[in-house]
């Protein structure tokens, strides 16, 4: 038995699914689709063929069409998703780690904390297990990700429900038991002239680098959000936690994340140009006010707006 999941909204281009030897036919969106096999083995599965206009996309399963948010594995008494935790009065890094049954380093790595100091009201990204979260970059393989983080490929596959090694730039995976590799400054360059970025919005920078490689830019709700570079939209999601409505765009050199949006004006697979409005600023998800959470999903390239001081103008 195969299951098919299609999320979000339809776009102009959609897939016609032909299940060979089956009597049913389906018409589904081409965004955020994946197939998973739910039988005991793959020995007797029926081929499934994806066609888009005159292009053959796949004749085997499982097939991941777009980037995924992984880290959905689980077990007895095991939390199976990334959550956000607001630090309370009296909290320490030790007791927060104990509360969620993960290591202090796991919290440090996920939140770019250098020492042990945390303060009330601070939002912490909490992983479901001890380890690291990793955004896939172009050219990555699971074997390389496992080796880089001193982890086991099989455990990454199991925890993230990966049956084949199909990972894509912008995918967020959990590396159970992994360690954050050292990041020499020479490998985290500022963007070069050939990677010129324009600001995703005008406003005030209210938070510097956090939650990986992100900055927050605040303004009035409804303020236009722009593509920082030309690229292709690879993911669009509604009402997620904690990012709210968000868009991911593969800009070629990097994948960028635009979160807490009010409106979203582009769809998955759409090509956008630098400076094109892709949405509007909002306060969806876990948000204390209208702003855009702009993240460069790479530890090799520093967020181009991370040098702006908190309270500084972005224009």
pLDDT in tens, 213-270: 899 999 999 999 999 999 999 999 999 888 899 999 999 878 999 999 999 999 999 9
> In DSSP terms, which residues pair with 176 in a beta bridge?
131
Chain Cα centroid distance, residue 166 = 15
37 plus 114 within the same structural domain: no
Q: Is 48 found in the same domain as 99?
A: no
252 and 293 together in one domain: yes
Whether 219 and 304 map to the same domain: the answer is yes
Looking at the domain assignment, is residue 299 inside a domain?
yes
Structural domain span for residue 87: 83-126
CATH code of residue 289:
2.70.70.10
Task: Classify residue 204: in a domain, yes or no.
Answer: yes
Contact status, residue 200 vs residue 294, Cβ threshold 8 Å: yes
| Residue 73 located in a structural domain | no
If one counts the domains in the chain, the total is 3
**Residue 225: which residues within 8 A CB-CB, separation 6 or more?**
200, 201, 258, 261, 277, 278, 279, 280, 281, 292
One domain, residues 37 and 91: no
Q: Tell me: do 47 and 88 sit in the same domain.
A: no
| Same domain, residue pair 301 and 197 | yes
Q: Which residue in 134, 138, 160 sits closest to 147, CA to CA?
A: 134
- Residue 308 maps to a domain: yes
Residue 274 lies in a domain: yes
Q: Rounded distance, CA 254 to CA 143, Å?
A: 21
Q: Which CATH number goes with the domain that contains 99?
A: 3.10.350.10
Which of 75, 103, 126 is the last residue before a domain boundary?
Answer: 126
| pTM for the predicted model, two decimal places | 0.59
Tell me, yes or no, whether 104 and 197 share the same domain. no
Provide the CA 169 distance to its chain's centre, in angstroms. 9
Considering only CA atoms, give the Rg of the chain. 20
Q: What is the pLDDT along the chain (315 residues), one digit of tens a residue?
A: 443 433 333 333 333 333 333 333 343 434 343 333 334 433 443 444 444 444 444 433 333 334 444 444 433 345 667 888 889 999 999 999 999 999 999 999 988 888 899 999 888 889 999 999 998 887 788 999 999 999 999 999 999 988 766 787 778 899 999 999 876 554 555 665 556 899 999 999 999 888 778 999 999 999 999 999 999 999 999 998 888 999 999 998 789 999 999 999 999 999 999 999 999 999 999 888 999 999 998 877 889 999 999 999 998
Contact by Cβ (8 Å): 142, 174? no
Query: Does residue 12 form part of some domain?
Result: yes
- Do 95 and 37 share a structural domain? no
Q: Do 54 and 88 share a structural domain?
A: no
In this structure, is residue 276 part of a structural domain? yes
Q: Is 225 found in the same domain as 310? A: yes
* Cα angle: 56, vertex 61, 63; to 5 degrees: 70
Query: Which residues 6+ apart lie within 8 Å of 23 measured at CB?
Result: none
Alpha-carbon span 253 to 64, nearest angstrom:
22
Residue 162 lies in a domain: no
Q: For residue 137, what are the contacts with CB-CB under 8 A and spacing of at least 6?
A: 169, 254, 255, 297, 298, 300
């Amino acid at each position: 038995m195969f299951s098919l999941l299609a999320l979000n909204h339809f776009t102009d281009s959609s897939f016609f699914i032909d299940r060979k030897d089956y009597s049913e036919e389906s018409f589904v969106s081409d965004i955020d689709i994946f197939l998973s096999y739910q039988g005991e083995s793959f020995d007797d599965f029926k081929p499934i063929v994806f066609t888009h206009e005159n292009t053959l996309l796949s004749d085997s399963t499982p097939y991941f069409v777009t980037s995924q948010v992984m880290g959905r594995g689980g077990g007895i008494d095991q939390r199976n998703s990334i959550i956000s935790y607001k630090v309370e009065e009296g909290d320490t890094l030790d007791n927060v780690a104990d509360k969620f049954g993960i290591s202090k380093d796991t919290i440090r790595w996920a939140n770019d904390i250098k020492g042990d100091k945390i303060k009330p009201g601070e939002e912490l990204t909490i992983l479901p297990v001890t380890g690291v979260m990793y955004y896939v970059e172009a050219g990555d393989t699971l074997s390389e990700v496992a080796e880089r983080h001193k982890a086991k490929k099989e455990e990454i596959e199991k925890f993230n429900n990966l049956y084949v090694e199909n990972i894509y730039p912008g995918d967020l995976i959990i590396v159970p038991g992994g360690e954050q590799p050292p990041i020499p400054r020479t490998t985290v360059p500022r963007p070069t002239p050939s990677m010129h970025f324009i600001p995703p919005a005008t406003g005030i920078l209210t938070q510097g680098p956090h939650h990986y490689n992100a900055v927050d830019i605040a303004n009035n709700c409804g303020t236009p959000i722009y593509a920082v570079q030309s690229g292709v939209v690879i993911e669009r999601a509604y009402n997620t936690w904690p990012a709210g409505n968000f868009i991911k765009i593969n800009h070629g050199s990097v994948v960028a994340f635009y979160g807490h949006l009010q409106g979203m004006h582009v769809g998955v697979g759409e090509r956008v140009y630098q400076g094109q409005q892709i949405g509007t600023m909002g306060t969806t998800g876990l948000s204390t006010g209208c702003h855009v959470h702009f993240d460069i999903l790479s530890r090799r390239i520093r967020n181009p707006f991370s040098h702006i001081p908190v309270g500084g103008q972005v224009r």
